[in-house]
Amino acid sequence: MTIAERYSDVDDEYEGAAVLVTADRRIDVHVHLSGHFEPIDGRYHWAGRVAPHPDVAALARGGRRAVTVQIGQSPEAPARIAEVDPWGGVRLTGVSRPPWEGPDIGGPGREPAASTSDIAIVGAGFAGLGAAIQLKRAGYHDLVIVEQATEIGGTWRDNSYPGCACDVPSHVYSYSFALNPDWTNTFSGQAEIWDYLRRCAQREGLGPHLRLGCRFEGARWDETEQRWRITTSAGEHVARVLILATGPLSVPSVPDIPGLESFAGTVVHSARWRHDHDLTGRRVAVVGTGASAIQIVPSIQPLVAHLSLFQRTPAWIMPKRTRPITRFERALFRHVPGAQRVVRIGAYWLRELQAVGFLHPAVNRFGQRIALAHLRRQVPDPRLREKLTPTYVMGCKRILLSNDYLPAVAQSNVELVTEPIREVRPDGVVTADGQLHEVDTIILSTGFHVTDPPIFGVVTGRDNRTLADAWTPTMRAHRGTMVAGFPNLFVLLGPNTGLGHTSVVLMVESQLRHVRNVLDHADRRGVEALEPTPEAQRRWTELVDRRMRGTVWVSGGCASWYLDATGRNSTLWPGYATGFRLRLRRLRPQELTVPQRRRTVVPA
């Protein structure tokens, strides 16, 4: 039964008594609500009015907008209260099951039927959208995309900080099956990339497949039914195939700095930018000097009164060969068949060449010379230069590209702080030497939970084992995509599929070919499910670890987010993107096995 069918016999309107529940009280009110099932996001939207009530009006005026609503014996439904109207009533909205839906539908004894699809994809970023497009094109139309946000776009929706742009040329940082002749810059900005993703989704008709504002809360492999039983914020969903495309860089990491919660000013994470917080004339702390910080600092430095930049480890920074793409070039890409493909191939191989330095660190000494010359040119002060000079081999941490970061750091309103942070106080940041850096805004440019996102703990495969169990102490996946013990589960940008030198979209596309190969193979064999053999997964992991030896990531003398708690690099692919693509091109059926179906025991 689909969600639409489930709600088809529910009354669309309710007028009567209800209770608004906040953290500390229950308010009896009179409401008039109506709703409808919205096919665009596959959810039930409802709204209406609460009759004038002084306590509710006070909540709305006081900015306490999140409440839950309970009608009769129905379970509480999350809701938001909006503005107070001239007569003292307030508007109430929600996206959930209808709050007036009686317990006879949702209550004990009669579990609401789950929606179903052949394939469920979690996440609507580059990977999830790419998966949906490719699978639809291959004839797999019965799929849903579960996305917790109310808009698609992943990384490029969430990272809207000033200066946000890709650091791999746009011609390569896009789908090979949807080239974009309209890029306006060789390294496009966030808005343009986000817009590209939205246009791809629209062109490919993904709208009806999207379940926006729907959070994936967990999944369990049902060994009897050979299906994934998926729990989402919108209810149960059952699918044969589960594709996790939740992104390696999507859960912001907030550092455990003592006193951070006591800060009296505003704390912003780079991936959750506060556009309502004007930085003009403020005293700002930027914590971290990685890929996001080097884009943020030059964008805000001219605005702020003072910027304290807290650096733990300096990054190797290379010049960024960025330029606008001319109208002539764009016309060429649009009208001359193959023109953009040729430019893309050129950019692809130039990037592939750069992998040499990661695999053979001695080669990166040449790159270091270029970076040091760049630093000398841009930072005249030798003391500041010294603080900005890395002591590890280039490539061990992500190599950053920028033409304006170093000049911004050299400005008089910027202080580069290399003392470790000891604590945060209401009025600023205190470093290990006891100095208080007074600020009113803290920008955390502190990255993401890469090797330990919470989602690993809620995906349960055969034998009651979660991905977190299987990946303790380190993440391993066959061909970076499938995991032994987790039938029909595909993890996009899974273990050892990241790249330091080129676009990860190339890796996603290789994985998608593998997904299609596996599904087609299951179809041909007439089996419901497949998973990798433990032996095949072990051999793949050995290959990865063997190739990792001697690379700059494990020998370059730095600690980076590429390494997990065991010190193993479980995030990056130790080679050329081409090598990964070739390895995933063809399926080796002997590496897959059919999971045993558990028989249901019917009591006598």
Ligand X SMILES: Cc1cc2nc3c(=O)[nH]c(=O)nc-3n(C[C@H](O)[C@H](O)[C@H](O)COP(=O)(O)OP(=O)(O)OC[C@H]3O[C@@H](n4cnc5c(N)ncnc54)[C@H](O)[C@@H]3O)c2cc1C
Binding site for ligand X (CB under 6 A): 122-128, 146-149, 154-155, 159, 164, 166-168, 173, 215-216, 245-247, 249-250, 292, 455, 492-493, 503-504
Strand 77-84, strand 90-95: pairing: antiparallel
For the bound state, the minimum distance from the C-beta of residue 576 to ligand X, rounded and expressed in Å, comes to: 15
For the bound state, the minimum distance from the C-beta of residue 70 to ligand X, rounded and expressed in Å, comes to: 26
For the bound state, the minimum distance from the C-beta of residue 588 to ligand X, rounded and expressed in Å, comes to: 25
Nearer to ligand X, 92 or 492 (CB): 492
Nearer to ligand X, 123 or 298 (CB): 123
For the bound state, the minimum distance from the C-beta of residue 110 to ligand X, rounded and expressed in Å, comes to: 27
**197 alpha carbon, distance to own chain's centre:** 14
Nearer to ligand X, 100 or 173 (CB): 173
Nearer to ligand X, 155 or 570 (CB): 155
Nearer to ligand X, 213 or 556 (CB): 213
C-beta neighbour count of 599 within 10 angstroms: 8
133 close to 512: Cβ distance less than 8 angstroms: no
For the bound state, the minimum distance from the C-beta of residue 592 to ligand X, rounded and expressed in Å, comes to: 24
471 close to 460: Cβ distance less than 8 angstroms: no
CA distance 209 to 234: 15
Strand 26-38, strand 77-84: pairing: unpaired
Helix 339-359 to helix 577-585 angle (10° resolution) is 110
For the bound state, the minimum distance from the C-beta of residue 486 to ligand X, rounded and expressed in Å, comes to: 17
Residues in Cβ contact with 94 at an 8 Å cutoff, skipping those fewer than 6 apart: 45, 46, 47, 69, 77, 78, 79, 80
For the bound state, the minimum distance from the C-beta of residue 447 to ligand X, rounded and expressed in Å, comes to: 8
Scanning 139-272, the segments in alpha helix (DSSP H) are 155-158, 190-203
In 470-579, the DSSP E strands lie at 489-491, 531-532
For the bound state, the minimum distance from the C-beta of residue 57 to ligand X, rounded and expressed in Å, comes to: 34
Nearer to ligand X, 142 or 217 (CB): 217
Nearer to ligand X, 309 or 508 (CB): 508
Closest CA to 228 of 244, 212, 209: 244
> Which 8-state DSSP code applies to residue 111?
P
In 468-558, the DSSP E strands lie at 489-491, 531-532
CA distance 266 to 272: 12
Scanning 310-420, the segments in alpha helix (DSSP H) are 327-335, 339-359, 364-378, 382-387, 405-409
84 close to 63: Cβ distance less than 8 angstroms: no
For the bound state, the minimum distance from the C-beta of residue 494 to ligand X, rounded and expressed in Å, comes to: 10
Nearer to ligand X, 131 or 359 (CB): 131
Nearer to ligand X, 263 or 448 (CB): 448
CA distance 470 to 221: 14
444 close to 288: Cβ distance less than 8 angstroms: yes
Phi, psi of 426 (to 5 degrees): -55, -30
Nearer to ligand X, 132 or 558 (CB): 132
For the bound state, the minimum distance from the C-beta of residue 257 to ligand X, rounded and expressed in Å, comes to: 21
